[in-house]
Amino acid sequence: MTADTLQIEIQQTTKSRLQEVDFDNLVFGKNISDHMFVAEYRNGQWQDLRVVPYGDLSLSPATAALHYGQAIFEGMKAYRNDKGEVLTFRAIDNWARLNKSAERLCMPTIPEDIFMGGLTELLRLDAGWVPAQDGCSLYIRPYMFASDPYIGVKPSESYYFIIFTSPVGTYYAKPPRVKVETKYIRAAEGGVGGTKCAGNYAGSLYPAKLAQQEGYDQLIWTDAREHAIIEESGTMNIMFVLDGKLVTPKVSETTLDGITRKSIVAVAQHWGVPVEERVITVKEIIEALKNGSLEAAFGAGTAVVISPFATISYEGVDYTVPEVKPDSFVAKVKTYLTDLRTGKVEDPFGWTVKI
């Protein structure tokens, strides 16, 4: 899996923008690092692997992805440990998930050595962009899109695979007020909800905007048939602590198989905390909120790690979610995952990899 046998051409920037970045006030998605990894798929093969200065692409207005949405992405993070070394977290799982999305969208899969080799070369070159500040990290965005200049509806024959990165700060936002969505849907059985395809996010903007106008920060998505089963929250997986157990919807074709979710489940099991991955109804959660058996409700995803909810709203009634106490499972697992990713504690799971 060495990048040497891969032949990645490296063209270093002559004008680093690193000095322009205010690492004490990082805004999510605003600063993009100096370089990007690019691979192009043509004639049935990934080729022209290169790490080049981050910059614009020149594309035909007929570029297939812009018309029919053959586009998928991933999101992950790299961290700096106390020794200054750069660590990735479960990158191999992001690679596997990208390929799962690719298959569903009729796109070519990416071989492991190209994904990991490209990522490694990129992180080596832009290692200086990985923040050292507490709670900060380097957000990594791998993505693929159809690039045929052709507007017939069919799978494209050419694609770009690109990775770029962006230093990001702590997510200080206050606990969100979330609304159970009972009209619009994110995903339906047989659809593409289980993939990280671009269109899923476009479709979620409008219902999210309506909820914001009503004073909520985010939605809880429910099943497409009856709006009775809880699926996800915004672009995060959803998890609850109920009667001392960690309870989360089981992964299905209408929920995304989140790596943060998976990690929290594994840590809970490692600690001997009972875990239930199952169908969770809205009714059950509202009952638990009413009778006090709901200890916590939170979203889980790479961007925020864990985002405890302040309020859950259902059919016009706001229910207050108990605050996270410092000695609770939620607080502990959040700290532990951060410590694991930054190499502060030993990693018994083999999730962190040194670049």
Ligand X SMILES: *Cc1c(COP(=O)(O)O)cnc(C)c1O
Measured from the Cβ of residue 155, the count of other Cβ atoms closer than 10 Å reads 14
**Nearer to ligand X among residue 63 and residue 88 (C-beta):** 88
Contact call for residue 235 and ligand X (CB under 6 A): yes
We find the least distance from the C-beta atom of residue 350 to ligand X, in angstroms, to be: 17
Q: How many residues does the chain have?
A: 355
The nearest distance, CB 299 to ligand X, in angstroms, is 8
Nearer to ligand X, 72 or 242 (CB): 72
237 near ligand X, judged by CB under 6 A? yes
Does residue 307 belong to the site contacting ligand X (CB under 6 A)? no
For ligand X, the closer of residues 49 and 303 by Cβ is: 303
What is the x/- site pattern for ligand X, positions 196-215, by CB under 6 A? Answer: x-------------------
Query: Where does the chain show beta strands of DSSP type E?
Result: 9-10, 35-42, 45-53, 71-73, 76-80, 86-89, 137-146, 159-168, 177-180, 218-222, 230-233, 236-242, 245-249, 275-278, 294-301, 305-308, 311-314, 317-320, 352-354
- State how far the Cα of 221 lies from the Cα of 53, in Å rounded to an integer: 39
- Angle between the N-to-C axes of helices 329-341 and 259-271, in degrees from 0 to 180, rounded to the nearest 10: 110
Which of 10, 18, 48, 75 binds ligand X (CB under 6 A)? It is: 75
Q: Is residue 69 a contact point for ligand X (CB under 6 A)?
A: no
Residue 236 within binding range of ligand X, rule CB under 6 A: yes
Q: Which is nearer to ligand X, 80 or 261 (CB)?
A: 261
User: 22-61 mask for ligand X (x: CB under 6 A)?
Assistant: ----------------------------------------
CB atoms within 10 A of CB 182: 14
114: tokens are 């190209």
Crossing angle (nearest 10°) for helices 91-104 and 259-271 = 130
The alpha carbon of residue 92 and the mean position of all alpha carbons in its chain are separated, in whole angstroms, by 14
Give the CA distances from residue 279 to residues 118, 230, 240, 252, in Å, rounded to whole numbers and listed in that order. 39, 8, 12, 10
Based on CB atoms, which residue is closest to ligand X, 50 or 261? 261
Per rule CB under 6 A, count of chain residues that contact ligand X: 13
Tell whether residue 260 is a contact of ligand X (CB under 6 A).
yes
By CB under 6 A, which span of 6-14, 40-48, 49-57, 254-262 interacts with ligand X? 254-262
Q: What is the distance between the alpha carbons of residues 351 and 91, in angstroms, rounded to a whole number? A: 8
Q: Is 117 in the site for ligand X (CB under 6 A)?
A: no
What is the smallest separation between the CB atom of 236 and ligand X, expressed in angstroms? 5
Q: How far is the CB of 328 from ligand X (least distance, A)?
A: 21
Beta bridge partners of 305: 301
Taking the complex as a whole, the smallest distance from the CB of residue 192 to ligand X amounts, in Å, to 11
Interface segment toward ligand X; rule CB under 6 A; list 9-17, 229-237, 271-279, 309-317 = 229-237
Residue range at the interface with ligand X (CB under 6 A); choices 26-34, 257-265, 312-320, 325-333: 257-265
Query: CA–CA separation, 35 vs 274, rounded Å?
Result: 44
Contact 307, 170 (CB under 8 A): no
* No. of helices (H) and no. of strands (E), the chain: 7, 19
Contact pick of 117, 301, 304, 330 for ligand X (by CB under 6 A): 301
User: Given the rule CB under 6 A, which of 228-236, 244-252, 276-284, 320-328 is the region that contacts ligand X?
Assistant: 228-236
Q: Which of 148, 232, 284, 295 binds ligand X (CB under 6 A)?
A: 232
What stretches of 31-136 adopt beta strand conformation (E)? Answer: 35-42, 45-53, 71-73, 76-80, 86-89
Coil, strand, or helix at residue 87?
strand
Residue whose entry in the numeric block shows the structure tokens 């029919």: 68
Q: Of 32-40, 205-213, 234-242, 280-288, which part binds ligand X (CB under 6 A)?
A: 234-242
Residue ranges in contact with ligand X by CB under 6 A: 75, 196, 232, 235-237, 256, 258-261, 301-302
